[in-house]
Amino acid sequence: MNKKDIKILLVDDEPDILEIVGYNLSNEGYQIITAENGSEGLKKAKKELPHLIILDVMMPEMDGIEACEQIRKVPDLKDTIVTFLTARGEDYSQLAGFDAGADDYITKPIKPKVLVSKVKALLRRFKEDTVSSTVKIGNLVIDREEYKISLKGEEIILPRKEFELLSLLTSKPGKVFKRDEILDKVWGNEVIVGGRTIDVHIRKLREKIGDESFKTVKGVGYKFVD
């Protein structure tokens, strides 16, 4: 999907935020739609069906939390990514946002380059309709939509990050995924984790899926072998 085809809805009652965020994302080639409150944002979300919605929390008429709850009730928006804009230290807003159905949050103030990187990371999660949600490789079946896997007909429960790591590696069997790429796509730019984190998750996957399925390329990264 080209950037010019991606719609991002910005909902904030501060004109400066709409202008700055909109300007930086427009420069990246995205289609930008804006709204000044939650009620207007909900109407535009239903009309435009954006791929990503960036919601402020504190707004007039309808706040971001309520808007998110309403958005999650719209079938046509079930795959839309919703992230909140929250002030630093507003832990209660972040928790309330996740409870309302948000996928993530962005703390403000935020530097433009960091914002763009964050948005790119969020959009990588968007599933295009042309991509099958179920992948079958040998005796391994991965259901990306329901976060389920089965091996030789037996269901295996994986924690979210192990599942996302397995899903990434199996997206292109035989390809060597570099460590930086794995950290970026599984943990995201906003999370600081050590290289050992990948090693630990790979070890756990080897124990559950089979040691022979995961190959280490020393000094580079990992690949999944069918």
Domains for the chain: give ranges and CATH numbers.
Answer: 3-123 (3.40.50.2300), 134-224 (1.10.10.10)
For CA atoms 199, 131, 147, 46, give the dihedral sign. positive
Q: Is 1 a residue whose pLDDT tops 80?
A: no
Residue 43: what pLDDT? 95
| Mean pLDDT for all residues in the chain | 86
Q: What torsion, rounded to 10 degrees, do the Cα atoms 70, 81, 44, 59 define? A: 60
Q: How far apart are the C-alpha atoms of 201 and 196, rounded to whole Å?
A: 9
The stretch 18-34 carries a mean pLDDT of 93
pLDDT tens readout for residues 145-190: 778 899 998 999 888 889 999 999 998 888 899 988 888 888 775 5
Candidates 194, 167, 166; CA nearest to 180 is: 194
pLDDT band at 88 (very low <50, low <70, confident <90, very high): low
pLDDT band at 34 (very low <50, low <70, confident <90, very high): very high
